[in-house]
Chains A and B, each alone.
Chain A
Amino acid sequence: MSLEQFKNRNVGTQNYRMLDLDPTPVTGWDKFKQVVRRSLSLELLVGLKVTLREMIKALFFGKMHTTKYPFEKLPIGPRYRAIHEMKRLLESGHYRCIGCGLCEKICPADAIRMDTHYGENQRKEVSEYTINFGRCIFCGYCAEVCPELAIVHGGRYETASEQRASFSLFEDMLTPIDQLKNQKEFPGYGSVSVQADKNIKKTPLAY
């Protein structure tokens, strides 16, 4: 049965399969017969069998579901949107942020605040950059809008803190300079897709 059948909302044209159910008993004798049939067919024992089977599977065949959370953690996807990371350029080690301010503008929760100035070589430099994680809704717009892939979402999701709101400074989120060789090109939210080069087409001049 394909999904199209369920999307058809026109009453009367759907093609449902009716279930074969026993007719509802009307007379007292029919009801009595139904009770006897259901009682003696031992359907209750089927329920017992199911739970015992699950117990044996769990205990002896390693099918236990529980993750002992603080000791064991499940892997999370690369596109998970947790606490932000600031990336560096792989070659020079300089931070990627060019101070364009797009993330500050697009942030719907007004969580990002940045200050920039012109550096010595007339390049915009970040003098102040904070994200208020008390306000951040982790929508991912900042990572999506960033033209340089400088701000991305990382995988650090354990963010319980003793303070109501915790601010993060630019340096806190920036990849430490000695960890630069471990920095991978980011595959997750806001990054260019793998087949990006293939998908690029020439702009048709007919427009």
Chain B
Amino acid sequence: MMEVTYLGVIIKAILILAIISAIAGFGTYIERKVLAFMQRRLGPMNVGPYGLLQIAADGIKLFTKEDFIPQNANKLIFMVAPIITAATAFIALSAVPVFPDFTIFGIFVPSIAADVNIGILFVLGMMAAGLYGPLLAGMSQANKWGLIGAARTAAQFISYEVVTGLSLLAPIMMVGSLSLIDFNHYNETHPWMVFMQPLAFVLFLIAGFAETNRTPFDLLENEAEIIAGYATEYSGMRWGMFFIGEYANMITVAVLASIIFLGGYTDLWFIPGWLAIILKIAFMFFLMLWVRASWPHVRPDQFMWLAWKVLMPLAVINVVITGIVIMV
């Protein structure tokens, strides 16, 4: 059934790169608009209709800004770090199915770039490897704020990797597979995973926010405390790559949550599967902006306390109870 051709894989890789980059750019616009509406402002309005071309203006600005490298920085690592963030974010998306398989021009197209049978492990591993971006960036730039940001990166990402993995372990035990496509098929015969594993869903959301560096947990670049954290010395397109990586990671987490917990791309009543998953991803993305508009930052010590004393024990208990229920 699977027809993996090299040409098809290349086309899909280019499509992922192009579409996700565009969506990441558009995401900044959506974020500014949603945050503005929640504060009863208008947001960007003047560039293009309803400010839609603001993305283009920002892109031109990013491309034409000076690419600045500090004098005492480790130049090679400083230049490579943003590429790591952007690359790992896009590589993670290669093992994520977004749409149902479809047929176009008589050719059967499975809508996943690489159907590896350890899909979840691959995606989580890639997002974990993404921690090298902020870490190396912060350590190479010879700036104390960057160094603090790098230290926080290591602490935050490694702690919350544990929570993500353990929270997903319970659904994995129920499905009995690591492939995301199997997760989607599981939803065709069972109720949504969120109703069977609500605790795992909440834990995964919290950990997902922490791993994508979103607001209640964006200690890496907390403007109020450490200027811009690991991104302090970055400018122009290198800074833009961090940004694109962050938004691509947000999309990855939104897709993961939709497929694992919210029923994926199975048809929902009268809504076709492809539309259903777009709506789910859009809602998850909106939730991240919504939370950013509502909640304040947490303190780093509270944050570590939350990970190791609350979330991890809860995740372990969840796994144990799930195991007992499956056995009985």
- The interface of chain A, by Cβ under 8 A from chain B, is 35, 44, 47-48, 50-52, 54-55, 57-59, 63-66, 68
Task: Determine how close the nearest CB of chain B comes to the CB of A51; give it in whole angstroms.
Answer: 4
Contact residues in B for A47 (Cβ distance below 8 Å): 294-295
The answer to whether A68 and B291 touch (CB under 8 A), given A54-B39, A59-B37, is no
Stretch of B17-25, B40-48, B227-235, B267-275 contacting A (4+ beta carbons < 8 Å): B40-48
Residues 19-56 of B contacting A (Cβ, < 8 Å): 34, 37-42, 45
- A/B interface sample: 21 pairs, CB < 8 A: A35-B310, A47-B294, A48-B290, A48-B291, A48-B294, A51-B38, A51-B290, A51-B293, A52-B38, A52-B290, A54-B37, A55-B34, A55-B37, A55-B38, A55-B40, A57-B40, A64-B40, A64-B42, A66-B40, A66-B41, A68-B45
The answer to whether A50 and B294 touch (CB under 8 A), given A55-B37, A58-B37, A59-B37, is yes
Indicate with 1 or 0, residue by residue over B271-312, a CB within 8 angstroms of chain A CB atoms: 000000000000000000011011100000000000000100
Decide if the interface of chain A is mainly helix, strand, loop or mixed. Answer: helix
Q: Are A54 and B40 in contact, with the CB atoms below 8 A?
A: yes
Q: Are B41 and A64 in contact, with the CB atoms below 8 A?
A: yes
Task: Determine how close the nearest CB of chain B comes to the CB of A62; give it in whole angstroms.
Answer: 10
Q: Are B290 and A58 in contact, with the CB atoms below 8 A?
A: no
Q: Are B38 and A63 in contact, with the CB atoms below 8 A?
A: no
Q: Across chains A and B, which 3 residue pairs bring their CB atoms closest together, nearest first?
A: A58-B40, A47-B294, A66-B42
Number of residue pairs across A and B with beta carbons under 8 Å?
Answer: 39
- The interface of chain B, by Cβ under 8 A from chain A, is 34, 37-42, 45, 290-291, 293-295, 310
Q: Are B295 and A65 in contact, with the CB atoms below 8 A?
A: no
Nearest residue, chain A, Cβ from B37 = A55
Q: Looking at A47, A51, A54, A63, which has the most chain B CB atoms within 10 Å of its CB?
A: A51
Nearest residue, chain A, Cβ from B293 = A51
Nearest residue, chain A, Cβ from B310 = A35
Nearest residue, chain B, Cβ from A67 = B42
Task: Determine how close the nearest CB of chain B comes to the CB of A197; give it in whole angstroms.
Answer: 46
CA distance A54 to B37 in the complex (A): 8
Contact residues in B for A58 (Cβ distance below 8 Å): 37-38, 40-41
Nearest residue, chain B, Cβ from A49 = B294
Known: A66-B41, A68-B42. 20 other contacts (CB 8 A): A47-B294, A47-B295, A48-B290, A48-B294, A50-B294, A51-B290, A51-B293, A51-B294, A52-B290, A54-B37, A54-B38, A54-B39, A55-B34, A58-B41, A63-B40, A64-B40, A65-B40, A65-B41, A66-B40, A66-B42
Task: Determine how close the nearest CB of chain B comes to the CB of A91; give it in whole angstroms.
Answer: 48
Contact residues in A for B310 (Cβ distance below 8 Å): 35
Nearest residue, chain A, Cβ from B45 = A68
CA distance A64 to B41 in the complex (A): 6
CA distance A59 to B291 in the complex (A): 18
Task: Determine how close the nearest CB of chain A comes to the CB of B257; give it in whole angstroms.
Answer: 17
Nearest residue, chain B, Cβ from A35 = B310
Contact residues in B for A52 (Cβ distance below 8 Å): 38, 290
Task: Determine how close the nearest CB of chain A comes to the CB of B45; give it in whole angstroms.
Answer: 7
Nearest residue, chain B, Cβ from A36 = B310
Task: Determine how close the nearest CB of chain B comes to the CB of A85; give it in whole angstroms.
Answer: 33
Task: Determine how close the nearest CB of chain A comes to the CB of B214; give it in whole angstroms.
Answer: 14
Task: Determine how close the nearest CB of chain B comes to the CB of A7; give it in whole angstroms.
Answer: 34
Contact residues in B for A50 (Cβ distance below 8 Å): 294
Contact residues in B for A66 (Cβ distance below 8 Å): 40-42
Contact residues in A for B38 (Cβ distance below 8 Å): 51-52, 54-55, 58
CA distance A68 to B50 in the complex (A): 13
Task: Determine how close the nearest CB of chain A comes to the CB of B301; give it in whole angstroms.
Answer: 15
Nearest residue, chain B, Cβ from A58 = B40
Q: Are B295 and A44 in contact, with the CB atoms below 8 A?
A: yes
CA distance A58 to B293 in the complex (A): 15
Contact residues in B for A35 (Cβ distance below 8 Å): 310
Nearest residue, chain A, Cβ from B216 = A44
Contact residues in A for B34 (Cβ distance below 8 Å): 55
